[in-house]
Amino acid sequence: MPTLPAPRTDPQPSRSRRTPRLRAALAMVLFLPIVLANSGCARTPTSPTTKSTPSASLTASQGTTAPALATTAGAMPASSGVSPEKTNGVVEIGWVGDTTPGSKYGSPPGNGRALFEEVRDQLRAPDLMVGNLEGTFGDGGKSKSDGGNSDSYSFQAPPRNAEALAWAGFDVMSLANNHTYDYFEKGLSVTRAALAANKIADTGLPGQIALREANGVKVAFVAFSPYRWNAGIADISAASRLVRKAKQQADVVVVLFHAGAEGADKTHTPPGAERAYGEFRGDSRAFAHAMVDAGASLVLGSGPHVIRGIERYDRRLIAYSLGNFAGWDNFKLGGNLSLSGLLTVRVDRNGDVLDGRWLSLKIAEPGVPDTDSRHSSARLVTELSKKDFEDTFELDAKGRFGPGR
């Protein structure tokens, strides 16, 4: 984990008052039906467009090296209704990297909402929005950094901040990373409960498959890391079996993984295994290729805290890292560490990539993402992809791409 910047306090963003306009709007609401009825033009008003909540279920099983955990969670409630045009057999999936909704180093105002305000519209656009939860929810307790270890960071946000993830548009959060067990078994249990209370699925525990459905497409999410509390990235054969099991339950399988060395200079994806801080951090290329061979349509990575390239392997998409996404005074920023992205990919029921976009983001102090009109990270990922891989997806100047060859 990079060295943390010095803590700072930022005021809560101001919100404009609209009381006079609201009064006028209410008056119009009361008055307009009378006018329309008298003119013979009365009609049923249409509801505003909102992101629907897809139906979902969640299953998990426990491996021999995992801590004692609750292994199942109830099914997520289905949406109130799906219009015919939303059952077209095509689903758009969004992915962002490391996301910390608050910690002892700083907590975003608005119960965490301030962290996502600038990109909320973009996060809510995909049918299924996914992120890497780099931290926990809870109210204290024993952490791994107790005992004065200055090289160990423990991230914990108040459970109420989980609502900000739902408000921002997240549907699934990966728990496959080195901070999931910051507050041990109790912290993990509280984290899962906070997510479930906000109808957000989680994935990443040993044997766990998270299922969501959107537009008539069943999507399975599985996640892996090098750590014992997660489905393991080192045992590629076991990981492949889990992906094949997920494929039996869904049309499309999305694999999430946390791997690779860390640091501003770690933008390239090397062949072979990587290490960081004395830890094995996986063989990203071998793992990702095996997941596609086992049936994954998308393989989406995090971990290095910087952007890495995109590979096109057997007509499937592998994004090795989107860098950091959002955190309040807990990520070191500057240079490559401030570049981020929101990757959206449309796939059909067969798992074929139709098109997508890399939306360039830039992280401003104290760790808030915003869109970058200069498309800096799209240019960087294009450069890295061409240098590191034999085949990739061709991005245009604004990060859009098609299925490729």
Q: What is the CATH number of the domain that holds 379?
A: 3.60.21.10
In order of 113, 139, 256, the CA distances from 96 in angstroms are: 16, 26, 11
Q: Are residues 30 and 123 in the same domain?
A: no
Q: Which two tokens stand for residue 208?
A: 């766990």
pLDDT at 405: 60
Count the Cβ atoms, other than its own, within 10 Å of residue 192.
24
- Whether residue 38 sits in one domain with residue 63: no
d(CA 269, CA 260): 8
Q: Tell me, yes or no, whether 371 lies in a domain.
A: yes
Q: Are residues 30 and 162 in the same domain?
A: no
**C-alpha to C-alpha distances, 315 to 288, 352, 393, nearest whole angstrom:** 13, 7, 10
**Which pLDDT score, from 0 to 100, does residue 148 have?**
63
More confident residue, 47 or 183: 183
Give the contacts of 149 (CB within 8 A, at least 6 positions apart). none
Structure tokens at 341: 């992205």
**Cα(279)–Cα(229) distance, integer angstroms:** 15
Q: Running DSSP on this structure, what letter comes out for residue 380?
A: H
The pair of structure tokens assigned to 190 is: 């509280």
Query: What average pLDDT score do residues 179-194 get?
Result: 98
Count Cβ atoms below 10 Å from residue 384 Cβ, excluding itself.
21
Beta strands 90-99 and 56-59, pairing class: unpaired
Phi, psi (5° rounding) for residue 262? Answer: -110, 150
**47-55 long-range CB contacts below 8 Å, 24 or more apart?**
51/124, 51/125, 51/169, 52/79, 52/82, 52/86, 52/214, 53/77, 53/78, 53/79, 53/171, 53/199, 54/78, 54/79, 54/127, 54/128, 54/171, 54/212, 54/213, 54/214, 55/79, 55/212, 55/213
The total domain count for the chain is: 2
Task: Please indicate, yes or no, if residue 11 is contained in any of the structural domains.
Answer: no
Note whether 23 and 92 are same-domain residues. Answer: no
Say yes or no: 394 and 312 in one domain.
yes
Both 141 and 35 in a single domain? no
**pLDDT for the residue numbered 372:** 98
pLDDT the model gives residue 238: 98
| In the predicted structure, residue 146 carries a pLDDT above the cut 90 | no
- What's the confidence (pLDDT) of residue 21? 37
| Assigned domain for 5 exists | no
pLDDT in tens, 316-362: 999 999 999 999 999 999 999 999 999 999 999 999 999 999 999 99
Mean residue pLDDT of the chain comes to 84
Whether residue 180 sits in one domain with residue 33: no
Whether 4 maps to a domain, the answer reads: no
Q: Please check whether residue 284 is in contact with residue 274, taking contact to mean a CB–CB distance below 8 angstroms.
A: yes
pLDDT in tens, 149-172: 655 899 999 999 999 999 999 999
Distance between CA 405 and CA 398 in Å, rounded? Answer: 20
Res 178 pLDDT > 90: yes
SS3 235: coil
DSSP string for 178-229:
TTTTTTHHHHHHHHHHHHHHTT-EEE-STT-EEEEEETTEEEEEEEEESSTT
Regarding whether 96 and 25 lie in a shared domain, the answer is no
Which residues have C-beta within 8 Å of that of residue 171, sequence separation ≥ 6? 53, 54, 56, 128, 129, 130, 200, 201, 212
* Res 124: pLDDT: 98
Residue 7 lies in a domain: no
Asked whether residue 76 carries a pLDDT value surpassing 50, the answer given is no
Are β-strands 279-280 and 217-225 bridged in parallel, bridged antiparallel, or unpaired?
A: unpaired
**What is the reported pLDDT for 28?**
38
CA angle (121 as vertex; 120, 122 as ends), nearest 5: 90
| Together in a domain, 162 and 194 | yes
The confidence score (pLDDT) of residue 22 equals 35
Q: Are 251 and 219 in contact (CB under 8 A)?
A: yes
- The answer to which of 80-84, 109-113, 282-286, 301-305 has the lowest mean pLDDT is 80-84
Q: Which of 25, 46, 67 is the last residue of a domain?
A: 46
How distant, in Å, are the alpha carbons of 29, 191, 228 from that of 21? 12, 40, 55
Q: Tell me: do 63 and 29 sit in the same domain.
A: no
Q: Are 330 and 367 in contact (CB under 8 A)?
A: yes
Q: Within this chain, do residues 219 and 316 fall inside the same structural domain, yes or no?
A: yes
Tell me: pLDDT of 9 over 70: no
Judge whether 159 and 113 are in contact, CB under 8 Å.
no
Lowest mean pLDDT among 62-76, 253-267, 321-335: 62-76
- As a whole number of angstroms, the distance between CA 375 and CA 387 comes to 19
The pLDDT of residue 32 is above 50:
no
Task: Give, as one character, the DSSP assignment of residue 261.
Answer: -
| pLDDT grade for 203, boundaries at 50, 70 and 90 | very high
Give the confidence band of 39 by pLDDT, cuts at 50, 70, 90.
Answer: very low
CB atoms under 10 Å from CB of 335, counted, come to 10
Residue 30 structural domain: 17-46
CA proximity to 157, closest of 200, 112, 196: 112
Query: Does residue 9 fall inside a structural domain?
Result: no
